[in-house]
Structures are given as C-alpha cells and as structure tokens.
Amino acid sequence: MLFISHMHYNMHLEKWADSCVKITHVAPEARGFIFAAPLAYEMGKALVPVRKPGKLPYKTKEIEYELEYGKATLQMHVDAISNGDKVLIVDDILATGGTMEAIARIIEDSGGEVVGILCLAELGFLEPRKRLSGRRVETLITY
C-alpha cells in the first residue's frame, strides 16, 4: 500500500472510496495502525483502534476468540461504531483469518457493516479466506 508505491496506495484509496460513502477504518494493534491511518486520513474518515485488553482509555467492549494455541481478547471503545457504519478493516498480515473474523464480529455486534478487509500480505498456505468466506478480502501480496 503506502510503502509499496504511491501508485498502489492511490489505487486502493480510489477503489475503497468509490465503494463507500461513509466508512470507518478499523485496525488491530499495532501494525494495522501504520496502514490504516494514512488511508483514513486521505479519505477524511475515522480510525478506530482495536487493541489488547487494558490499552484503551475509555469504556470498551470486547471479544474473545480462539487461536491455534489458546485464546485471545480484543477491545474497542463502546461508542466507536454506530448502527449503519460501513467499516473497512485494515491490517498488515492476513494469516489464519481469526483476528479479522473476531474484529468483524465485534463490528457487526455494534451495528456496523464490514464492507471489506484489506491487508498488505496474505499467508495463503494457511487458507484464511475459508474462515472469511463471504467477505470481501483484498491483499497485495500472497505467500
């Protein structure tokens, strides 16, 4: 995206800008912030951080999800997503899809609509798209 080339960055900016009138960018910590922040800024839209427990300063809601080796929890502010908000989830790596699936669930539980998932790279051999079946997923690089 931004770090690959200005042309790729603008291409994705235009693609997502055309698909949504009102969009919020949601990014998991910490590398997701690096990619989502410039997109949100250029589009003039909000950026919602999703973090590990205890790192956000306001009242939060959380979701627990399964990992291959245990469980994890993510939180976001309770007022970050409103009914009808269109949300683009942005991150650096799409591995198993578990984190993206959990973030999508917490967004939808808050009344938002996940319009897509955008990641720099995908670990295709882990087959994350099976877990995210039915969702619009775009990546620039697949390994």
- Kindly list the catalytic residues: 31, 68
3-state helix, strand, coil in the chain (%, to 5): 30, 35, 30
Task: Give the separation between CA 59 and CA 129, rounded to whole angstroms.
Answer: 32
Task: Give the separation between CA 95 and CA 127, rounded to whole angstroms.
Answer: 8
